[in-house]
Amino acid sequence: MTDASLFESLDLTAEDNAGGDLPVRSPIDGATIAQVRQANAADVPAMVARAQAAFAAWREVPAPRRGELVRLLAEELRAAKPALAALVTREAGKITAEGLGEVQEMIDICDFAVGLSRQLHGLTIASERPGHRMAETWHPMGPCAVITAFNFPVAVWSWNAALALVCGDPVIWKPSEKTPLTALATMRIAQRALRRFGADAPEGLLQLAVGGAGLGQALAASPAVPIVSATGSTRMGRALAPVVAARFGRAILELGGNNAMIVAPSADLDLAVRAIVFSAVGTAGQRCTTLRRLIVHRSVREPLLQRLRAVYAGLPLGDPRAPGTLVGPLIDADAVARMQAALARAQADGGVVHGGQAVTQGVPAGGAYVRPALVEMPAQTAVVREETFAPLLYVMAYDTLAEAIALHNDVPQGLASCIFTLDLREAETFLAAAGSDCGIANVNIGPSGAEIGGAFGGEKETGGGRESGSDAWKGYMRRQTSTVNYSTRLPLAQGVRFDV
């Protein structure tokens, strides 16, 4: 399919695709596929005012009715799935299966949110006073700014937007400057749902702000935006979080990961190899959940490495649209340069590098292709403790589980983790209080590819936020505790006497 017919099928107009000042380059071949118009910090007050006006109306629409809008959004996403997935592939470089998976993740969270729209439950609490009732109610919070990264250019918006919408909050979305076109297409899909939904949905409920870091900072600084949900690098979070905190806003942060797998002596190595390759090499190593560190028991290190080296040597790499490709391009040439710099540092630290070269033969010219790297490390040096957003897997050895867990937790990030073992004691130790310190801890499953039903996020430099499933919706609402006195007396709590 040509770019033009793909854009047309997603309602992207000539005006969207040309004439703007932000060039959109496909990582597949470096081609400029669009020139998108940008907003800037000066546009933020008007956008926020529109969102505030939308909030005044939307918070009064009953939550199950708000859920109906999200149900329609899921229907429109189902209809647009192949086209939107193809655009994700074109703009972000994901292989076809992963582009489709990303849109499916959007559909899944919408379905989840529809059910949730009838389950925004609060507690009732036993009052210590006679004739009194205590309860908590969850109320809409206000406009929610959603700042997303290039690597999940549409799904992360949907995790936030589907919840925010049923919770009664308008959304202002600032996508990555590297992937504004998929964001525009997603807004067109949402507009189809809004049109079908009708007049209950106020103008300004869902807005898009394409632009640079200044735009994100302006949203973070606005006191009329009570929630700022930001996904991206720890560097971005470090710049943004103090701005939100300074005005007592709520930040939901999902930042860097440096995810590890412990492979124990009893591990099913067939399973482990498949999980390692998917989670280290999938999405060309550009998931926040990507497997970056392998901590292997010394007794299985050699056989595992042998198998991995064989699989890595034959990985089908190239145009992500071609059937059979498993490794597409990195997002751009800078990402390749950062990977090469990390490999050089690892080598200087005594690492033995397998693969990792930039690839220009047998791949589309102009794209940023690399052979995934395995690096045998003698120790967890400084470079291993950093997140390098590329298919770069460090391999280290351990002797005791305690040593493996200590190594595992000795990084600044705390997103996703896993252990491969058939030993119940080891598995439970890894999941226990003194085990993995991550927000996600799996057994016999890799660290990436989470379902939407669980809360998603992690600790330490990952930022502590939770998005997606479980009770992450509470992050998008304000909790109100109410005590109602239906008696004729006024007893005070804690037995305080105050007679007037």
Instruction: Give every strand in the sheet of 259-263, ordered side by side.
Output: 352-355, 373-376, 392-398, 291-297, 259-263, 416-420, 440-443
Q: Of 64-72, 151-159, 261-269, 371-379, which part binds ligand UN1 (CB under 6 A)?
A: 151-159
Residues 218-237, mask of contacts with ligand UN1 (x by CB under 6 A): -------------x------
CB nearer ligand UN1, residue 76 or residue 105 = 105
Contact 333, 26 (CB under 8 A): no
Residue 290 beta carbon to ligand UN1: minimum distance, rounded to whole angstroms: 8
Among 158, 289, 413, 417, binds ligand UN1 (CB under 6 A): 289
Report the alpha-carbon distance of residue 28 to residue 330 in Å, rounded: 9
Closer by beta carbon to ligand UN1, 179 or else 231: 231
Q: Measured from the CB atom, is 294 or 397 closer to ligand UN1?
A: 294
Residue 288 lies near ligand UN1 (rule: CB under 6 A): yes
To the nearest whole angstrom, how small is the minimum distance from the Cβ of residue 232 to ligand UN1? Answer: 8
Residues 252-271 contacting ligand UN1, CB under 6 A: none
Start-to-end Cα distance in the chain: 81
Q: Decide whether 187 or 440 has the Cβ nearer to ligand UN1.
A: 440
Residue 287 binding ligand UN1, by CB under 6 A: yes
102 given a catalytic annotation:
no
Q: Does 388 bind ligand UN1 (CB under 6 A)?
A: no
Pick 83 or 156: Cβ nearer ligand UN1: 156
Q: How far is the CB of 268 from ligand UN1 (least distance, A)?
A: 22
Which of 387, 39, 75, 444 is closest to 219 using CA atoms? 39
Which of 167, 288, 418, 438 is the catalytic position?
288
Task: Report residue 79 as tokens.
Answer: 């209809």
Distance CA 103, CA 189 (A): 12
Regarding 441 and contact with ligand UN1 (CB under 6 A), the answer is no
Closest to ligand UN1 by CB, 171 vs 450, is 450
Q: How many CA atoms lie within 13 A of 436 on its CB side?
A: 26
Q: Are 338 and 390 in contact (CB under 8 A)?
A: yes
The piece of 132-140, 367-375, 431-439, 447-455 that touches ligand UN1 (CB under 6 A) is 447-455
Q: Count interface residues toward ligand UN1 (CB under 6 A).
A: 11
Shortest CB 201 distance to ligand UN1, Å: 28
Q: Which of 254, 376, 426, 461 is catalytic?
A: 254
| Cβ atoms 413, 256 nearer than 8 A | yes
How many whole angstroms separate alpha carbon 139 and alpha carbon 141? 6
Active site residue 418: no
What are the residues binding ligand UN1 (CB under 6 A)?
Answer: 105, 151-152, 156, 231, 287-289, 448-450
> Active-site positions?
254, 288
